[in-house]
Amino acid sequence: MSTEGAGRSEGAGRSGVVTLGETMVLLVGHGAGSVSDLDAMRVDTGGAESNTAIALARLGVPVTWVGRVGADPAGDRVLRDIRGEGVTATATTDPDRSTGLMMKERLADGRTRVTYHRRGSAGSALRPADVPASLIERSLLLHLTGITSALSDSAHETVLDALARAESAGVRVSFDVNHRPKLIDAARGRARYQEVARRSSIVFAGDDEARLVLDRPERPDDEEDLALRLADLAHGRAVVKLGSRGAVAAVDGRVFRRAATPVRVVDPVGAGDAFVAAFLAARLAGEGPVTALDLAAEAGALACTVDGDWHSLPTRAALGGGLPGTDDAVHDRVDR
């Protein structure tokens, strides 16, 4: 994504980032083991889009999150947490649907398992009218994820409407695939992700997600080739996130690689959102792909060091200052 100079020319009069999606109340088990065996759980909130929004806000980027919550205490908690982190939250309150719920378990083998209770939730009923008039048109960047497209037909319609508004106003679009097999099957997901990716300025994906979008599930493409092919689908820019193996970016035909920053993983959920936010923040500030990848890798690593989807997201001052308790990554797998 080439955003250098956006605020001085095509982006004159615009500011910040807009993102939209579902944020849920999160129940986190105390200790390792299945929820069925635990006596206590901690209440938190989380969602890929709001995680990214919070990360952007901590990095000094003005950001607005758009969503839908139930008329319930869970919805109140979602809005309190998002707004408490300096994000502008624009939410429709749905009197007929409940705020979604997810549970996070840390299993004995080191894996993190996330279970969702979001079918028919308020967030899944997101619709184009929930996005305020002129909000996207006044922004520098619209950030979307595949999760929103996978939630429901109305949520995907909202994504497409937001894309059309961004295109009409000349607003750039970033897209993080974030495939959720529990929400949508591979074939339907691929069709929706390709539709969004082709209209995006930059696409982020894990290597498995890139193969899904490109319909190359069994091809032994190397990671650089994956990034280039994914960039060809979009507008020449893509980043393939490789977890503990780092990341590869393809920008206008050039390939850049960055090793992962070693860190002892406490909770890997939210690391990808932190990575994306830091990369976008760097590019919006006029940094090149190398610096953007460096900052993204550090942000993703820092996000793993504390339990919670967004609690350890770094400020810009924290990036480049070293990581607490660094060691080899111990586990970055999340089942969801």
Say which of 94, 176, 273, 332 is annotated catalytic: 273
What are residue 185's phi and psi, to 5 degrees? -75, 165
Task: Count, in order, helices (H) and strands (E) of the chain.
Answer: 9, 14
- Residue 222 tokens, joined: 């190397």
Cα gap 267→188, rounded to integer Å? 30
Angle at 130 between CA 151 and CA 23, to 5 degrees: 45
Q: Which of 239, 221, 243 is nearest to 231 (CA)?
A: 239
What is the rounded radius of gyration, in angstroms, for the C-alpha atoms of the chain? 18
- 109 carries an active-site annotation: no
Range list of β-strands (E), the chain: 17-20, 24-32, 41-46, 63-70, 88-94, 101-106, 112-117, 141-145, 172-176, 202-206, 237-241, 247-251, 254-258, 334-335
Question: Angle 183-185-190 (CA atoms, 0-180°, nearest 5)?
Answer: 110
Query: What φ, ψ does residue 211 adopt, rounded to 5°?
Result: -65, -35
Active site residues: 273
